[in-house]
A and B are shown apart, each in its own frame.
Chain A
């Protein structure tokens, strides 16, 4: 199979923008109605009071905070992976970067909703921000929740910029091909006057380089600060020094899984077989395998030190997850996050597109459970046994959780309808691996050889 010609690339990648089937409208209507139901459920919760959810004393945080950590984790797919692949100049990144960066932007938006949804009085969420007010009140800068606000808003701004910059030449391409009218005006505005001059290309490349370097520490700091929400509180099994790296590793782990699922869906539904090759899935699958091992190492280190330390309060939480009422969830997590992905991804024969997707679904389930098992068992088994409790989700929380997955799919579907999901100019600018190529690693890059 030959590489698609440049003209073919443009035609293939712009096709979803130009032709819309009835299936698209059906999907949008379906997802949109679930999202709408989620919003109505939230309104119902606000109107009736937080009591309609399942939280109680002592489990004051549960599904909403789990979703918050999970979605912020998924957001680490995109920007971080794409920035690293750009910096090491991995040739196979070209068709992958944009669909990864979009995940970041949308997952962050969804994740950032949860600190607001979970508030007792969500209409006062702006009290978390420092804003000029008559009584000269400031937020409490010692609170990790205020750090969250700054971390997430920085990351969201950065990753939207990081997503937008390489879209500019593609917007210009659409503008130039669009007939006169609304579409031409909108894409013209988005293209910011792009003419493709040498100076513009040079500035775009420098800006991308700066953003790629800047976004990595921001991404790492975001999930570290999310982990501080837990590790700063003297709660058994929360008050841990390893939560920062543990959370970041888990975030990248679930992020890669989310990316693989998104890429497989794009490949199938937008017919991008000529652009997203098995080698992309194989490379990301290897990365997922490595993160699975890293995750298992972190869990092992956390569990072993807790067990060896034998602190009374921590051991209560330890046992309630390991072999108590939370143990079915705990062992499901271990199977989904380690046993399944390790078995599939370590065997070359199983590391196919289908195999990678199955492993990724496992990881998404497992990582959601991991966040849940960090939040709830610690809260339900704090120091005084008299105050121990239990948690069971109520329909309100389940509905809002389902709605977030629908919202992610909906936003992604709409985005791929309005913007080419693979960066056309980046694909043209570099060689992308041919489908015959089984793995990038098999082609040795010799010293002194210039990279494509």
Chain B
């Protein structure tokens, strides 16, 4: 059975702690750009926790929304890429071939979610982060676009291991770094083609909605709306 990877984000559970952002940086060798570049809009967080404030001081509440690549089925980023660096995989992922990217940045403009990031400089890390690279993920050079992959290196490794054992992947056996590190279990990852998987059940929840659904991008990420007053 082919997989269709998807995610459910329970906004009631998200505390905005940022563990997913940190885990993503560590897993995917994402450079840290430093405070000066970040202030100029060059920060690269493949997953970001958006903060929206409601009310007037002192009655302010903060709403969090983790936003990563929505892995759209009708992704606006894909047709605009002149070199096929941005393309769709058989398992429904929006893949990015870093070596094929020439840096037109058209995909980032077309993306309504602003989740594609450009390498403005060659990547660098403050010490001692340079000692903890993930050998399974290639480092991107200056001038290319990069983005959330749903931790495709983990997906591939798990699929290969399952195939070697001649068995099907179990639900929950495989998680991207963000879902794995979420202490509140707000992020649930899995196979949407498996009707019994946790992500399938959550995606069908009446609380579920897609981000910017009316643009027709058919995202693979479902957001479960808040029911509590924060």
Q: Would you call B84 an interface residue if the criterion is a C-beta within 8 Å of the partner chain's C-beta atoms? A: yes
Inter-chain CA distance A105–B113, complex, in Å, is 39
- Contact partner, A127, options B65, B83, B106, B109, Cβ 8 Å: B83
Which chain A residue shows the least CB distance to B40? A56
B41 contacts A120, C-beta separation under 8 Å: no
- Contact partner, A50, options B52, B83, B103, B112, Cβ 8 Å: B103
Among A34-42, A167-175, A191-199, A379-387, which stretch is in contact with chain B?
A: A379-387
Inter-chain CA distance A143–B108, complex, in Å, is 14
Interface string of A114-151 (1 = CB under 8 A from B): 01001111101101100000000111101111100100
B143 contacts A386, C-beta separation under 8 Å: no
Inter-chain CA distance A25–B117, complex, in Å, is 47
Q: Would you call B125 an interface residue if the criterion is a C-beta within 8 Å of the partner chain's C-beta atoms? A: no
B84 contacts A140, C-beta separation under 8 Å: yes
Q: Would you call B175 an interface residue if the criterion is a C-beta within 8 Å of the partner chain's C-beta atoms? A: no
Given the known A-B contacts A119-B104, A120-B102, are A140 and B142 also in contact in the complex, defined by CB atoms under 8 Å? Answer: no
Residues of A within 8 A of B143 (CB): 49-50, 119-121
> Chain A's nearest CB lies how many Å from the CB of B144?
6
Q: Would you call A232 an interface residue if the criterion is a C-beta within 8 Å of the partner chain's C-beta atoms? A: yes
- Contact partner, B118, options A48, A50, A124, Cβ 8 Å: A50
Q: Would you call A389 an interface residue if the criterion is a C-beta within 8 Å of the partner chain's C-beta atoms? A: yes
A143 contacts B79, C-beta separation under 8 Å: yes
Q: Would you call A61 an interface residue if the criterion is a C-beta within 8 Å of the partner chain's C-beta atoms? A: yes
Q: Would you call B67 an interface residue if the criterion is a C-beta within 8 Å of the partner chain's C-beta atoms? A: yes
Which chain A residue shows the least CB distance to B142? A49
How many interface residues does chain B have, given as a range? 35 or more
Which chain A residue shows the least CB distance to B87? A140
Interface string of A227-263 (1 = CB under 8 A from B): 0010011110000000000000000000000000000
Interface string of B62-102 (1 = CB under 8 A from A): 00010100000000100111111000000000000000111
Which chain B residue shows the least CB distance to A388? B114
Q: Would you call A57 an interface residue if the criterion is a C-beta within 8 Å of the partner chain's C-beta atoms? A: yes
- Contact partner, A140, options B82, B119, B217, Cβ 8 Å: B82
B81 contacts A57, C-beta separation under 8 Å: no
- Contact partner, A233, options B80, B100, B120, Cβ 8 Å: B80
Residues of B within 8 A of A382 (CB): 112, 114
B84 contacts A51, C-beta separation under 8 Å: no
Inter-chain CA distance A138–B84, complex, in Å, is 9
Interface string of B110-140 (1 = CB under 8 A from A): 1011100111111000000000000000000
- Contact partner, A61, options B76, B109, B114, B142, Cβ 8 Å: B109
Inter-chain CA distance A379–B110, complex, in Å, is 9
Inter-chain CA distance A140–B83, complex, in Å, is 5
Q: Would you call B169 an interface residue if the criterion is a C-beta within 8 Å of the partner chain's C-beta atoms? A: no
Given the known A-B contacts A57-B43, A233-B109, are A120 and B103 also in contact in the complex, defined by CB atoms under 8 Å? Answer: yes
Q: Would you call B51 an interface residue if the criterion is a C-beta within 8 Å of the partner chain's C-beta atoms? A: yes
B82 contacts A120, C-beta separation under 8 Å: no
A139 contacts B83, C-beta separation under 8 Å: yes
- Contact partner, B51, options A55, A128, A386, A390, Cβ 8 Å: A386
Given the known A-B contacts A50-B142, A234-B215, are A120 and B118 also in contact in the complex, defined by CB atoms under 8 Å? Answer: yes
- Contact partner, B108, options A60, A122, A138, Cβ 8 Å: A60
A144 contacts B114, C-beta separation under 8 Å: no
Q: Would you call B105 an interface residue if the criterion is a C-beta within 8 Å of the partner chain's C-beta atoms? A: yes
Inter-chain CA distance A128–B81, complex, in Å, is 10
A119 contacts B103, C-beta separation under 8 Å: yes
Residues of A within 8 A of B81 (CB): 140, 143
- Contact partner, A232, options B51, B80, B83, B105, Cβ 8 Å: B80
Inter-chain CA distance A143–B106, complex, in Å, is 9
Inter-chain CA distance A387–B45, complex, in Å, is 12
Q: Would you call B162 an interface residue if the criterion is a C-beta within 8 Å of the partner chain's C-beta atoms? A: no
Residues of A within 8 A of B43 (CB): 57
Interface string of B179-214 (1 = CB under 8 A from A): 000000000000000000000000000000000100
> Chain A's nearest CB lies how many Å from the CB of B35?
14
Q: Would you call B171 an interface residue if the criterion is a C-beta within 8 Å of the partner chain's C-beta atoms? A: no
Which chain A residue shows the least CB distance to B51? A386
Which chain A residue shows the least CB distance to B83? A127
Inter-chain CA distance A150–B48, complex, in Å, is 38
> Chain B's nearest CB lies how many Å from the CB of A429?
45
A60 contacts B118, C-beta separation under 8 Å: yes
B42 contacts A233, C-beta separation under 8 Å: no
> Chain A's nearest CB lies how many Å from the CB of B159?
25
Residues of B within 8 A of A59 (CB): 41
In the complex, chain B residues 20-73 whose Cβ is within 8 Å of any chain A Cβ: 37, 40-43, 48, 50-52, 65, 67
B102 contacts A384, C-beta separation under 8 Å: no
A384 contacts B215, C-beta separation under 8 Å: no
Inter-chain CA distance A229–B83, complex, in Å, is 15
Inter-chain CA distance A390–B41, complex, in Å, is 8
Residues of B within 8 A of A122 (CB): 102
Inter-chain CA distance A229–B122, complex, in Å, is 28
Residues of A within 8 A of B215 (CB): 234, 383
Inter-chain CA distance A232–B83, complex, in Å, is 17
B102 contacts A51, C-beta separation under 8 Å: no
Residues of A within 8 A of B65 (CB): 386
Residues of B within 8 A of A383 (CB): 112-113, 212, 215
Q: Would you call A58 an interface residue if the criterion is a C-beta within 8 Å of the partner chain's C-beta atoms? A: yes
Q: For B101, B106, B110, B144, which residue has the most chain A Cβ atoms within 10 angstroms?
A: B106
Could you list 29 A-B pairs, sorted by A, with CB under 8 Å?
A50-B121, A50-B142, A56-B41, A57-B42, A57-B43, A57-B117, A58-B114, A59-B41, A60-B108, A118-B104, A119-B143, A120-B101, A120-B119, A121-B103, A121-B142, A122-B102, A127-B100, A137-B84, A138-B84, A140-B81, A142-B79, A143-B80, A232-B79, A232-B80, A233-B76, A233-B106, A382-B112, A386-B65, A389-B41
Q: A140-B83, A232-B80 are in contact. List 7 more A-B contacts (CB 8 A).
A: A56-B40, A56-B41, A115-B104, A143-B81, A233-B76, A234-B215, A384-B113
In the A-B complex, the 10 residue pairs with the closest CB atoms? A120-B103, A120-B143, A56-B41, A51-B120, A387-B114, A60-B105, A386-B50, A121-B143, A49-B121, A233-B110
